[in-house]
Amino acid sequence: MKVLVINCGSSSLKFQLIDVETEEVIVKGICDRIAIEGSRFVFSALNKETIDSKIVLKNHADAMKIILETLTDEKNGVIKSLDEITAVGHRVVHGGERFASSVIINDDVIKAIEECSDLAPLHNKANLTGIQACKKMMPETPMVAVFDTAFHQTMPEEAYLYGIPYDYYEKYKVRKYGFHGTSHAYVAQRAAVLMDKDQKELKLIVCHLGNGASVTAVKYGKSIDTSMGLTPLEGLIMGTRSGDIDPSVLGYIGNKENKGLEELMKMLNHDSGLLGLSGGESSDFRDIVSAYEKNDERAVRALKAFAYRTAKYIGSYTAAMNGVDGICFTAGIGENSGLVRDMICNYLTYLGLKLDPDKNEKRGKEQIITTQDSNVKVMVIPTNEELMIARETYKELKNGK
């Protein structure tokens, strides 16, 4: 049984065709720079030469068309007809309070996703474009929506409410939602396997450290708190996002520099984080690390602040769960940077955590990186959101029958 996984952004469409029985990735690729000059199509099929071509992609429907045509193409394709695709799994960023799990897409679901768009305008609109394009080209194929927010719907009220008038929650659903849920759920599952335990007996903290970054407390298999909020701006210091700040900073800078809210929000989302702290050096962690290694003082302060904030969240989630059994690192930075894992774990030796320096140096491999006698296990677990979406799609399909 083959599931097509679609991750549709505002100007890109990433896809994978996955055999859900063997979990083998048959094809993966991307349509990039959609509706922008210089569009590109990359299609990598198992045991075949990768196609990497410049083509005109006017919109997401064009992108879907080239993907489906290539999948069934006699020379480059991997399937004879689109009927071989049993279902399509779509990543959807915001499911609001309506979606606490994945769901088979019908007209009501599409309407509800549209309604959630208020909370994540750019993302949800892009996700819907992908859904509509698929619906048009494969009207009979079932589709499933897998939400970034769904995993966090188990958070208790005390974790998701902000300390502002309750009216705003009642009227507009202003609350913490959290993101990267598919990744946190996948990593927590893998952590239990690595630790040879049932998730139901584990207190885990998952650090998804990529360009966007978030930490989640996963108690007995359920998310009970997470660092991102109403939007992905809250929490950790990220590539270009500030993470937590005192909201008064906005009024203060706004007055001093005569800037409006829109401009200030743009500053917090696009000019802050590692980029802002390093004085414009880079938002890319690799650049920050190489400047840090040359003792560049701007990179040193950015990196130290990044590690400090992450360690503080781990400490607070240890308190939230009254203990922790395992800490997991995932995504571009978490999987690859032994340096930052070491800097973060240095704050946590009070837990009886002992990093194994040799294991910590190894990159991108799923493994436990603490010593045998460490009280808390630290793990590197490469995330796999596409596989998780394929699994969820399969599960929903089986449940729906």
Which segment (17-25, 153-161, 229-237, 330-338) binds ligand ADP by CB under 6 A? 330-338
How many angstroms separate the CA atoms of 374 and 153, rounded? 32
Beta-carbon neighbour count of residue 298 at 10 Å?
16
Considering beta carbons, is residue 60 or 241 the nearer one to ligand ADP?
241
Half-sphere exposure of 45 (CA within 13 A, CB side): 13
44 makes contact with ligand ADP (CB under 6 A): no
First-to-last C-alpha distance (Å) of the chain: 15
- Of residues 109-168, those binding ligand ADP (CB under 6 A): none
If one counts every other C-beta atom within 10 angstroms of the C-beta of residue 15, the result is 23
Q: Which is nearer to ligand ADP, 10 or 211 (CB)?
A: 211
CB of 300 to ligand ADP, least distance (A): 16
Kindly indicate which of the ranges 88-96, 217-225, 256-264, 281-289 contains the residues binding ligand ADP, using the contact rule CB under 6 A: 281-289
| Least spacing, CB of residue 338 vs ligand ADP, in Å | 8
The answer to whether residue 333 forms part of the interface with ligand ADP (CB under 6 A) is yes
Interface residue with ligand ADP among 336, 360, 370, 393 (CB under 6 A) is 336
**DSSP 8-state secondary structure symbol assigned to residue 379:** E
Residue type, 194: L
Residue 278 near ligand ADP by CB under 6 A? no
User: Per the residue annotation, which of 19, 73, 118, 148 is the catalytic one?
Assistant: 148
Instruction: Map residue 146 onto helix, strand or coil.
Output: strand
The answer to the question of residue 348 lying near ligand ADP (CB under 6 A) is: no
| CA-based R_g, the chain, Å | 22
Q: Which is nearer to ligand ADP, 95 or 338 (CB)?
A: 338
215 backbone dihedrals φ, ψ, rounded to 5°: -120, 140
d(CA 201, CA 356): 25
Query: Is position 212 an interface residue for ligand ADP (rule: CB under 6 A)?
Result: yes
Closest CA to 273 of 244, 311, 316: 244
DSSP state letters, 280-318: TS-SSHHHHHHHHHTT-HHHHHHHHHHHHHHHHHHHHHH
Q: Which of 127, 129, 310, 337 binds ligand ADP (CB under 6 A)?
A: 337
The beta-strand segments (E) located in 148-240 are 203-209, 213-219, 222-226
Q: How many CB atoms lie within 10 A of CB 56?
A: 10
Among 239, 243, 273, 326, interactor with ligand ADP by CB under 6 A? 239
210 scored as a contact of ligand ADP (CB under 6 A): yes
Can residue 12 be called a binding residue for ligand ADP (CB under 6 A)?
no
Q: How far is the CB of 337 from ligand ADP (least distance, A)?
A: 4
**Closest approach of Cβ 331 to ligand ADP, in Å?**
4
Output the smallest distance, CB 289 to ligand ADP, in A: 5
The residue range among 5-13, 29-37, 57-65, 205-213 that interacts with ligand ADP, by the rule CB under 6 A, is: 205-213
Tokens of residue 59, six digits: 């919109």
Least spacing, CB of residue 281 vs ligand ADP, in Å: 12
In the region spanning residues 282 to 301, those forming contacts with ligand ADP, defined by CB under 6 A, are: 284-286, 289
Q: Is 325 a catalytic residue?
A: no
CB of 77 to ligand ADP, least distance (A): 28
Query: Which strands make up the sheet holding 213-219, listed edge to edge?
Result: 222-226, 213-219, 203-209, 326-330, 377-380, 367-368
Given the rule CB under 6 A, which residues bind ligand ADP?
210-212, 239, 284-286, 289, 331-333, 336-337
Catalytic residues: 148
